[in-house]
Structure 1
């Protein structure tokens, strides 16, 4: 197993703490099947003629997932020239991610191991800060818990108050109706955000009705498809958490 980046420096009263969902993403992205998929998709030509892939995580939180991808880029992608960047609506999460990546990269350097090229974090609402067609791999651990409504983003002048901390955390888990209101916004933007070979890894829970979500994506047409590529096991006959890979099948592709 690949080592998990340290998050001991993170202020978890303001930032989502890594949990089962975070670790499921790490396990999935470093699994033999996903390494084979990503290496085939982004490393099936010489490095000199194959553009460096860009990985973007939406909602980085502590930075444990993005720093894991950055630190182990060569193992996951079969090449170390991988660019990584993050987006989060919570400025404290952006600052935490920067530090988490720095710590992980320093540990890699001390062991004479390579890592990717971290471009930084942006404070933003989902994918609105991203350029069209530029993202090769998008990772999203959304606020997936069904809630009566969605929390609003706090006004700038109140974001550093003590009362704001619980509100900031609610942004990381409250998903509205079926826990899908935020996720649906991101899904709607994927065809514009992802590049020609782009793919996305989205975490869903049973209440999100993942089979319906996957069927909806397959109806986009133009080769789009979605499959579950990781799960946390079943509870009461339902997969509690699962990672759905969304991508466009290339004509003649060996890996579907």
Structure 2
């Protein structure tokens, strides 16, 4: 088993703490099936871009960057992330840096983490591997978009309410827990490269079979498959990772 990046520096009052969903992504990416898929697809590509949306603590993108040689068959990859929470951006930068220093012979090239709204900052066809552990918990509504004032206030006068709000950005998914994930999925035809693929985490309440059906509706060349699972509960996959790609 590949080592998990150290996140002991992260303040979990306002940043999502690595949990079962995070570790399922690490386990899935490092399975023989997925390393074979990724290696065959990107080993000979010039500097493929591996991007995580919503990295939180940075544990997943740090893992992908630190173990690039083993996961992708080459160290010649670029990694980056985008998060709406500026504290998560800073934490991710530290997590990736620490993990890279501990795996000097296998890590890729980290470009940094930017604050932004999902894939809005990206040009068309830019992403080769997209990783997304979304806010998937069903909630009555989505938290509002954070402002610069929110971030400044939470530093100057930190409160429980401020911290709770920032944490809600990482888990509150709106109707069926899918309002954020739906936006990301609809953007995949635009942002993925011709060989690009996406790993997206879903829970049972997200109605994963409906999600897969919708993705297959993108066109005949689109494929989607479950490649990781935390097991069944009451006959449903409790958590699962789907891989989306074009043939």
Q: TM-score range by the shorter chain?
A: over 0.9
Which residue does 2:131 correspond to in 1? Answer: 139
Q: Is the 8 A contact 2:84 2:146 kept in 1?
A: no
Q: Is the 8 A contact 2:70 2:106 kept in 1?
A: no
| Among 106, 116, 135, the residue aligned to 1:114 | 106
Aligned-residue CA RMSD (Å): 0.9
Deviation beyond 4 Å, 4+ runs, structure 1? none
Which residue does 2:171 correspond to in 1? Answer: 173
Note the C-alpha offset of 1:9: 0.3
Which residue does 2:52 correspond to in 1? Answer: 57
Q: In the aligned structure 2, how far is the partner of 1:108 from the partner of 1:76?
A: 13
Which residue does 2:189 correspond to in 1? Answer: 191
Q: In the aligned structure 2, how far is the partner of 1:198 from the partner of 1:155?
A: 32
Q: In the aligned structure 1, how far is the partner of 2:217 from the partner of 2:149?
A: 43
Which residue does 1:221 correspond to in 2? Answer: 219
Note the C-alpha offset of 1:222: 4.3
Deviation per CA, 1:105-136: give whole Å up to 9, x if none. 11113xxx221000000000100011110100
Note the C-alpha offset of 1:92: 0.2
Which residue does 1:24 correspond to in 2? Answer: 24
Asked if 1:102 is matched to 2:97, the reply is: yes
Q: Secondary structure at the match of 2:103?
A: helix
Q: In the aligned structure 2, how far is the partner of 1:158 from the partner of 1:97?
A: 20
**TM-score, normalised to structure 1's length?**
0.92
Q: Is the 8 A contact 2:85 2:146 kept in 1?
A: no
Aligned positions of 1:231-250 closer than 5 A: 231-249=229-247
Deviation per CA, 1:4-62: give whole Å up to 9, x if none. 0000000000100000000000000000000011111112x4xxxx3111000000100
Count of matched residue pairs: 241
Q: Secondary structure at the match of 1:51?
A: coil
Which residue does 2:85 correspond to in 1? Answer: 90
Q: Is the 8 A contact 2:80 2:112 kept in 1?
A: yes
| Among 150, 157, 176, the residue aligned to 1:158 | 150
**TM-score, normalised to structure 2's length?**
0.96
Q: Secondary structure at the match of 1:26?
A: helix
Q: In the aligned structure 1, how far is the partner of 2:74 from the partner of 2:147?
A: 42
Asked if 1:34 is matched to 2:34, the reply is: yes
Asked if 1:4 is matched to 2:13, the reply is: no
